[in-house]
Amino acid sequence: MLLPCEVSLKYFLPALRARVVEELYKLDFSQDEIAKKLGISQAAVSKYINKNYSKKIAKIKESEEIKNLAKEFVENILKNKDVQVDFKKFCELCKKQKLSKNFS
């Protein structure tokens, strides 16, 4: 059994990262630049670029909520603003998606 926050970390956060990586890569950021901006490894960036993740993550990545949150995140990166995830918004999206029921 996975708790809701475990589900979020296992599926929702990687889906958001995958979407953000994809958007930054389209804007000609290098893998190293993306890794530094997101605080993840270059290997993780490569994994996201090559779509080396589960079908569940791929499905979540295509949701409008993830697309919108990723767009906001990328806009903040481009403006050199704080790029921390809004945890309140993140948790609300997880609740809305009911990930604990859909992906446990």
The residue segments making up the domain with residue 78 are 4-102
Q: Give dist(CA 67, CA 75) in Å, integer.
A: 12
Q: Give dist(CA 34, CA 54) in Å, integer.
A: 21
Contacts of 86 (CB under 8 A, 6+ apart): none
Q: Which of 96, 42, 47 is nearest to 69 (CA)?
A: 96
Considering its fold, how many domains does the chain have in total?
1
- The pLDDT of residue 96 is above 90: no
Output the pLDDT for position 20. Answer: 95
Output the pLDDT for position 49. Answer: 97
Beta strands per DSSP E along 15-91: none
- The pLDDT of residue 81 is above 80: no
Give percent of the chain above pLDDT 90: 48
pLDDT band of residue 40 (cuts 50, 70, 90) is very high
Per-residue pLDDT averaged across 90-100, rounded?
67
Output the pLDDT for position 88. Answer: 73
Output the pLDDT for position 69. Answer: 87
pTM for this model (two decimals): 0.83
pLDDT tens-digit profile of 59-80? 999 989 889 989 988 998 898 8
Output the pLDDT for position 104. Answer: 47
